Amino acid sequence: MRDQAKITSKGQITVPRRVRHALGVKPGDSLVFEQDGAEVRVRPVKKKSAFAKYRGIGNPGMASGRGAVLRKIDELRGREARPK
């Protein structure tokens, strides 16, 4: 893919539609520019973990966090629960 964009006097550009679609970005998303020698790469800034949508699906009814996991392990092993 090869597209062009003009830089305005304020240093702004309009990202071409094909590039926006290729990057999967929408209005309000951010891009990061990374220099590697003489080349500059453009990539979208990830707002959250790709796995965030799966958080909590494997442990219904159990609180999240390290402490909750350790208390559940103690419970399963028949030990006295750790304090919160």
Global pTM reads 0.51
pLDDT of residue 84: 66
Do 43 and 66 fall into the same domain? no
Among the listed residues 45, 53, 41, the one whose alpha carbon sits nearest the alpha carbon of residue 29: 45
pLDDT tens digits, one per residue of 64-74: 788 888 888 88
With beta carbons less than 8 A apart as the criterion, state whether 75 and 67 touch.
Answer: no
- pLDDT bin (cut points 50, 70, 90) of residue 59 is low
Of residues 9 and 1, the one with the higher pLDDT is 9
Based on the structure, what is the number of domains in the chain?
A: 2
pLDDT of residue 1: 82
Of residues 39 and 84, the one with the higher pLDDT is 39
| Residue 58 reports pLDDT greater than 90 | no
Do 43 and 2 fall into the same domain? yes
Q: Which structural domain range is residue 76 located in?
A: 56-84
Do 32 and 63 fall into the same domain? no
